[in-house]
Amino acid sequence: ESMETFDPHYKTLPSEDEWKRGENICELLKPFSVITTYMSGSKYPTSNVYFTQVWRIEMLLQKYARSDDYAIREMVRRMQGKFNKYWEDYSIILAMGAVLDPRLKVQMLEKAYEAVDPTTSTLKIEELKANLKMLYNDYQTRNRASSSGVSATPTPHEILTESPLEHDIDDDLFELERSLEDGVGNTKTHLDIYLDEPRLARSAFPDLDVLTYWKDNQHRLSGLCDMARDLLTIP
């Protein structure tokens, strides 16, 4: 009777299978709803939040691609193509932003990638670490140039899509210059220091503002703070 009150087209109760289909669709679409809320402007999250939601979507798509319900499988099949295109374009940028959340770092991303596909997780982590190092070195090189009067620092996305040859030359020169100035070839960078430190427990910092974290740690990780700010504010 209550359904008749709210829906004039109501005729019969949904079957047990239809109820189950509705529950599955709600679970599948919930992360999309969360991301839409963020992008609508009612919330302004950092890129680490986007990564966790996109990862959740990928896990759910894998789960429901094996559904017994043909309608669900077909819906997932259509969604998967669009999702893959998005993920290919932004996965590295979002992953690097997630690493700069002190509750996640590389260790949590290793677990996330393993859950999605254990056969490719090691390669993805190696690629992630290489891109982090490349981007960090590029920021250091450009910061030195900026202090000499050169401006117009590009975004992380622009840096990562530049010519690999340019990066090879810049990185090599930067490493040589840094080793000369430090007098030691194996001095840890601020990126190394951050990655080597223990993760913050999510249970102890459930509402951590990562931008505030980096602002508070400017004094000891100054070489990494600009890169962290730019990556985390990409969305």
Domain ranges of the chain: 2-232
Q: How many CB atoms lie within 10 A of CB 139?
A: 23
Among 7-21, 46-60, 174-188, the range scoring the smallest mean pLDDT is 174-188
What average pLDDT does the chain have? 82
Highest mean pLDDT range out of 12-21, 35-44, 83-92, 134-143? 134-143
pLDDT value for 56: 86
pLDDT of residue 9 exceeding 80, the answer is: no
pLDDT value for 101: 96
Q: Taking the CA atoms of the chain, what radius of gyration do you get in angstroms?
A: 22
Angstrom distance (rounded) from CA 49 to CA 232: 9
Q: What angle do CA 231, 232, 234 make, to 5 degrees?
A: 65
pLDDT of residue 90 exceeding 90, the answer is: no
Q: Average pLDDT, stretch 87-109?
A: 90
Please check whether residue 199 is in contact with residue 107, taking contact to mean a CB–CB distance below 8 angstroms. Answer: yes
> pLDDT: is 3 or 91 the higher one?
91
Q: Average pLDDT, stretch 48-59?
A: 86
| Among 88, 9, 93, CA closest to 51 | 93
Angstrom distance (rounded) from CA 26 to CA 206: 25
Please check whether residue 235 is in contact with residue 46, taking contact to mean a CB–CB distance below 8 angstroms. Answer: yes
pTM over 0.85: no
Q: How many CB atoms lie within 10 A of CB 136?
A: 22
Half-sphere exposure of 227 (CA within 13 A, CB side): 28
pLDDT value for 176: 60
- Res. 126 pLDDT band, cuts 50 70 90: very high
pLDDT of residue 19 exceeding 60, the answer is: yes
Q: What is the dihedral of CA 211, 50, 189, 168, to 10 degrees?
A: -130
Please check whether residue 79 is in contact with residue 64, taking contact to mean a CB–CB distance below 8 angstroms. Answer: no
Please check whether residue 223 is in contact with residue 133, taking contact to mean a CB–CB distance below 8 angstroms. Answer: no
> pLDDT: is 105 or 117 the higher one?
105
Angstrom distance (rounded) from CA 32 to CA 147: 43
> pLDDT: is 151 or 132 the higher one?
132
Q: Average pLDDT, stretch 140-150?
A: 75
Encoded amino acid at 148, one letter:
S
